[in-house]
């Protein structure tokens, strides 16, 4: 503006100042809105909690004052402030803010609810299981704040480029203003004008802002679909995935086991068999252990000591005066327990029980495929994923049966956690591209951390998932994997469109300006106009549905 005034181009001086101010305001507003769009999707901070006091009265308090085991009341239409378990009441809750699911979820006594869900129909009484700082809402908000710090390689490149580009164009503009008049006696006014035009058009602001805008929009689109991506670097890395490895339990299957058959040996009753198994597994967090306790259905009063749980095998302990082992064939083989006369069931999981080194029976437990498991596999293939692999600790017969039903290329079963890591390393060595691993986050933290992209399935309530994974699917739908990759690819296209358009417009205006065929109006468009085009283009990511 000062330069334009100096050469008496007053209308253009005013235009440059006016449009630059407007452009800066729009750019700041767009950048702020892009950041806020991500936070607003996850910003489900509770404003209050209705604490039920011991005398039956209800006190409205700050959620941060609520402690575990406190009881809170949630009325219809209120947001659930903290994680907990429903003690009384029947209702439907809206989980869209966290999971992206449009259908309300039915909850009843015993159901787990998370802070951020919205109670829709009935009055709920909930026992709190975690204070605010350890709640799902607080953890997710922390992760979203950290995500903004993890920039994609493309963003870092543009930032480095701008640090070199800016002084270079300033020097070139100065040379354009000085060299022709000094060496060739050209008009100072004409070449000063062209230098000003060059300086305005070459401003890197539009280029610098257009790239993060695209990534912010991609992260926001993912969050809107119930996919928490921990930063633009992971969003960009999803583009390079060529192999997808999947855990079975809790990922391809529901992870909700049910006891189908009790097969005690002579001298042991079915109730005794189930009692031993449930007692031994009373402290385990594994879904199979939960199914055994649920099937037993009675308070466990046994005196259990010397408890030892081995990942991928099972549990050993002492119940009363007996040594009890509950687990798979690997555990029985290690302990020297003969179970050779049992019947193999390829479609189910078998839990063996031994007492004092003697086999006393087995329990057949089954799990169901997730409703969208087949769709997830088909969608991944349509996206060009070259290999689909199952890595599971379950039996070979069970894993192979499920793998054949879904059309999975490679099945690796009966794996301990460290063996999953070794298998993943082998996949990475054999793959021309990145390897993604998706697991339930409970026992897969080492594999999630080792993969190029680790995805925790339904990890809202799992601390291990939120810490170890790069991406967290906030619902239990494996079909979200394809959505995440699709969003990443669309984001890359938009980001490069922004870069190419910015460079093309700027180079064109710079050439025309150097030849005296452009004015400051075109130069302003080369910066402010290009920024507006980038804003509009980036917003398409948020508006587009992803399947």
Confidence of residue 1 (pLDDT cuts 50, 70, 90): very low
Confidence of residue 82 (pLDDT cuts 50, 70, 90): very high
User: Model confidence over 264-306: pLDDT tens digits?
Assistant: 999 999 999 999 999 999 888 788 898 999 999 888 888 889 9
14-28, 138-152, 291-305: segment of lowest average pLDDT:
14-28
247 is catalytic: yes
Higher pLDDT, 115 or 543: 115
Does residue 464 carry a pLDDT above 70? no
Q: 242 in helix, strand or coil?
A: strand
Q: What was the pLDDT predicted at 4?
A: 45
Higher pLDDT, 457 or 460: 457
Would you say 267 and 346 are in contact if contact means Cβ atoms under 8 Å apart?
Answer: no
Would you say 219 and 225 are in contact if contact means Cβ atoms under 8 Å apart?
Answer: no
Give 48's DSSP letter: -
Does residue 29 carry a pLDDT above 80? no
77-91, 95-109, 386-400: segment of lowest average pLDDT:
95-109
Q: What was the pLDDT predicted at 27?
A: 56
Exactly one of 94, 247, 440, 527 is catalytic; name it.
Answer: 247
Higher pLDDT, 10 or 163: 163
Does residue 489 carry a pLDDT above 60? yes
Does residue 144 carry a pLDDT above 80? no
Higher pLDDT, 455 or 394: 455
Q: What percentage of residues in the chain have a pLDDT greater than 90?
A: 36
Q: What was the pLDDT predicted at 31?
A: 54
Q: Write the CATH number of the domain with boundaries 258-366.
A: 3.40.1110.10
Does residue 263 carry a pLDDT above 80? yes
Which of 31-35, 191-195, 421-425 ranks highest by mean pLDDT? 421-425
Q: What was the pLDDT predicted at 19?
A: 56
- Tell how far CA 370 is from the center of its chain: 19
Q: What was the pLDDT predicted at 200?
A: 77
Q: What was the pLDDT predicted at 3?
A: 47
Rounded average pLDDT over 191-220:
81
Rounded average pLDDT over 434-444:
82
Q: CA–CA separation, 217 vs 542, rounded Å?
A: 6
CATH top-level class of 49-78+83-129: mainly beta
Half-sphere exposure of 481 (CA within 13 A, CB side): 37
Higher pLDDT, 13 or 29: 29
Rounded average pLDDT over 366-379:
91
Higher pLDDT, 231 or 6: 231
Q: CA–CA separation, 49 vs 65, rounded Å?
A: 9
Q: What was the pLDDT predicted at 136?
A: 78
Q: CA–CA separation, 418 vs 340, rounded Å?
A: 28
Half-sphere exposure of 478 (CA within 13 A, CB side): 31
Where exactly are the structural domains of the chain?
A: 2-39+146-216+487-543, 49-78+83-129, 230-254+369-484, 258-366
pTM for the model stands at 0.75
CATH top-level class of 230-254+369-484: alpha beta
Q: Which two tokens stand for residue 102?
A: 């449009």
Pick the closest to residue 86 from 136, 123, 126, 130 (CA basis).
126
Confidence of residue 10 (pLDDT cuts 50, 70, 90): very low
Rounded average pLDDT over 44-63:
88
Burial of 547 (0-12, 13-18, 19+ CB in 10 A): exposed
User: Model confidence over 327-342: pLDDT tens digits?
Assistant: 998 899 999 999 876 6
Does residue 260 carry a pLDDT above 60? yes
- List Cβ neighbours of 198 (8 Å cut-off, separation of 6 or more): 169, 172, 173, 176, 510, 513, 514, 523
């Amino acid at each position: 503006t000062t330069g334009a005034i100096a050469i008496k181009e007053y209308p253009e001086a005013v235009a440059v100042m006016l449009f630059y101010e407007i452009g800066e305001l729009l750019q700041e507003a767009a950048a702020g809105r892009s950041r806020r769009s991500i936070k607003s999707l996850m910003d489900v901070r509770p404003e209050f909690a209705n604490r039920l006091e011991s005398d039956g009265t209800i006190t409205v308090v700050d959620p941060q004052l609520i402690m575990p085991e406190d009881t809170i009341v949630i009325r219809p239409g209120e947001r659930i402030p903290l994680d907990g378990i429903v003690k009384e009441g029947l209702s439907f809750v809206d989980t869209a803010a966290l999971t992206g699911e449009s259908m309300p979820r039915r909850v009843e006594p015993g159901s787990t609810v998370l802070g951020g869900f919205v109670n829709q129909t009935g009055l709920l009484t909930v026992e709190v299981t975690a204070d605010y700082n350890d709640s799902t809402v607080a953890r997710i908000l922390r992760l979203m704040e950290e995500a903004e710090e993890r920039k994609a390689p493309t963003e870092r490149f543009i930032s480095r480029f701008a640090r070199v580009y800016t002084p270079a164009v300033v020097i070139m503009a100065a040379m354009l203003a000085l060299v022709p008049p000094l060496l060739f006696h050209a008009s100072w006014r004409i070449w000063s004008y062209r230098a000003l035009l060059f300086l305005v058009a070459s401003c890197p602001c539009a280029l610098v802002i257009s790239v993060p805008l695209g990534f912010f929009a991609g992260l926001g689109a993912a969050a809107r679909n119930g996919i928490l991506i921990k930063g633009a670097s992971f969003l960009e890395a999803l583009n390079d995935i060529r192999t997808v490895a999947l855990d079975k339990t809790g990922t391809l299957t529901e992870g909700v086991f049910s006891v189908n058959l009790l097969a005690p040996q002579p001298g042991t009753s079915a109730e005794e068999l189930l009692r031993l198994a449930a007692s031994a597994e009373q402290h385990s967090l594994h879904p199979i252990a939960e199914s055994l306790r649920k099937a037993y259905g009675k308070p466990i009063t046994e005196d259990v000591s010397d408890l030892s749980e081995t990942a991928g095998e099972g549990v050993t302990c002492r119940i009363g005066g007996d040594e009890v082992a509950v687990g798979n064939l690997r555990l029985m083989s290690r302990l020297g327990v003969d179970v050779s006369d049992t019947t193999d069931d390829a479609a189910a999981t078998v839990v063996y029980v031994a007492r004092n080194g003697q086999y006393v029976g087995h329990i057949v437990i089954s799990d169901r495929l997730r409703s969208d498991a087949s769709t997830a596999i088909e969608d991944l293939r349509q996206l060009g994923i070259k290999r689909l692999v199952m890595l599971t600790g379950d039996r070979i017969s069970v894993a192979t049966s499920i793998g054949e039903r879904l059309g999975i290329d490679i099945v690796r079963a009966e794996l301990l956690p460290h063996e999953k890591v070794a298998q993943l390393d082998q996949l990475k060595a054999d793959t021309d591209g990145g390897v993604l691993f998706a697991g339930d986050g409970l026992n897969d933290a080492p594999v999630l951390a080792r993969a190029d992209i680790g995805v925790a399935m339904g990890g809202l309530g799992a601390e291990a998932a939120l810490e170890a994974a790069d991406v967290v699917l906030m619902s239990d739908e494996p079909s979200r994997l394809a959505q995440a990759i699709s969003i990443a690819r669309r984001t890359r296209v938009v980001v490069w469109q922004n870069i190419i358009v910015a460079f093309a417009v700027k180079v064109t205006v710079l050439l025309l300006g150097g030849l005296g065929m452009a004015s400051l109006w075109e130069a302003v468009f080369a910066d402010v106009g290009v920024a507006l085009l980038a804003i509009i283009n980036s917003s398409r990511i948020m508006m587009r549905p992803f399947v």
